[in-house]
Chain A
């Protein structure tokens, strides 16, 4: 450790303004603060001094998704062998999935971080930790068979047009991971939807439809049991299948105070209310699906826990968070049931509400000002 510190200290002058590699300063700082905790802290002013910084926030989210990631790897293998009617042991399943998912993670981080470093370099600012989370979320929300070159383009698109053009981490309007998924979905629909893509190298005769895909065409025989859907033994995007492990991740994020419970709660509430409304309507079999089953299908839980709660793109006010989450939940179920082109509505619902989040905040703040003014006037009148 000491030798490393010494080495860095020795190299530092070269990267300071005036040094040999002054152009690479932000790259150097990026590596330095990755290896060692930055010791530049606030010296003056009324700041709360806390150990929680952006790096820790990000790392906590990454820890939160680790259970679903590991399970997702196992499930990729499990689904693959299941399509051939085989039931190998856990390790074989996991290793098969690892072989499929690891390249996706590597491409996601390689391309994304490469572009982040490039922009930090050109714009002479420090490298932000923002991509650490995005980079792990992207592999979790794509099908296991996604061609890597398509993924690379989508990641580049998401980082450049979803984030960097707005000014980098913390300034983006849209959730970058969902931007990447939306890009893939619209640009390469053949590899992002349908029955063929959700199981890696499946036997052709085996139907690989997700529960959502089945429900949309009204095919309710052979429908997975709630137990299977809750624990995640169903085909789907890598990390979205197991609601159980997502909830464990959610618990971790809530205990550490990283994610907003208001948003999570209201997303589920919104989804349930919409589901119940459809149950009352009951025009077709999909509408009659029990509302709570919507919560454990597709990416609903994953979106609610890890995507909607993104602190940058969600509403900031406490009241606004309720509206924001509730509308996401309602919209997601609405799109699922009504729009045959989009079997999963969660992605589009969150992206849509990302756009409206600032407006929700604006309305909440304005109405609060109005309310207080009214009170002040009443007091004056007395």
Chain B
């Protein structure tokens, strides 16, 4: 271990790549760590808000991980949660203002959930579990990776909910009018939050089916 520390690690060493790709599947924040479920249910009715939410969360996790990792040796352990919250809250306010400035309508749709990123378990979880014990660059990558893992699930859920619930994708009509004329009706339950939970359940089911090692004993 001691020799490893002195060596300069490549920026995209296999270990660092794993920080990026791991959360997409084997350590996915939503389906494996079961964090951040609340916002995943709330913002996935349509794809556009889901994508914006995923980006917002990715920015916040990445940079809060980075900042906390820089400060990690200077933070007194007893007040670390408060320090973490200050950093996260600052970033969330920045993101919120940016969203309001550039994509106001989406910001309106996301409503309180942007502000609630502060309390998103993924962020606190990653800060506690990773950033407090790792160097800034891996911490930053870990933040990006977890943000992507969160975003991936959000986008999958939103894809099915928007397609089946509204017949659109990113606001464009996908299901042809002729199908509606033939008697097709949008599934009203897809718009309700319970269906988001069930969709996430199905994703977890499929994922566990292919990765048997994830099945809890």
Contacts and interface: CB of A to CB of B under 8 A. Distances in A.
Interface of A: 147, 149-150, 153, 161, 165, 183, 186-191
15 contacts: A147-B183, A147-B185, A149-B183, A161-B198, A165-B201, A183-B189, A186-B189, A187-B187, A187-B188, A187-B190, A188-B185, A188-B188, A189-B188, A190-B185, A191-B185
A150 B183 CA distance: 10
A147 B187 CA distance: 13
Contacts of B190: 187
B192 interface: yes
A165 B187 CA distance: 22
Contacts, number: 22
A191 B192 CA distance: 18
Contacts of A188: 185, 187-188
Classify chain B: how many residues form its interface, as a range.
Answer: 10 to 19
Which 10 A-B pairs rank lowest in CB-CB distance, beginning with the nearest? A187-B189, A186-B189, A187-B187, A187-B188, A188-B185, A189-B188, A147-B183, A186-B188, A161-B198, A190-B185
B185 A150 contact: yes
Interface in B146-198: 183, 185, 187-190, 192, 198
B99 to A, nearest CB: 32
A186 B183 contact: no
A191 B189 CA distance: 13
A247 to B, nearest CB: 34
A177 B188 CA distance: 19
Nearest to A185: B189
B185 A186 contact: no
A149 B201 CA distance: 24
Contacts of B201: 165
A187 B201 CA distance: 18
Contacts of B205: 165
A186 B198 contact: no
B206 to A, nearest CB: 12
Nearest to B183: A147
A161 B200 CA distance: 13
Contacts of B192: 186
A150 B186 CA distance: 10
Contacts of B188: 186-189
A186 to B, nearest CB: 4
B23 to A, nearest CB: 26
A153 B164 CA distance: 12
A156 to B, nearest CB: 12
B157 to A, nearest CB: 16
Given A147-B183, A186-B192, 17 more contacts: A147-B185, A149-B183, A150-B185, A153-B187, A161-B198, A165-B201, A186-B188, A186-B189, A187-B187, A187-B189, A187-B190, A188-B185, A188-B187, A188-B188, A189-B188, A190-B185, A191-B185
A189 B188 CA distance: 8
A161 B183 CA distance: 25
Nearest to B182: A149
Nearest to B185: A188
Nearest to A147: B183
B14 to A, nearest CB: 36
A67 to B, nearest CB: 33
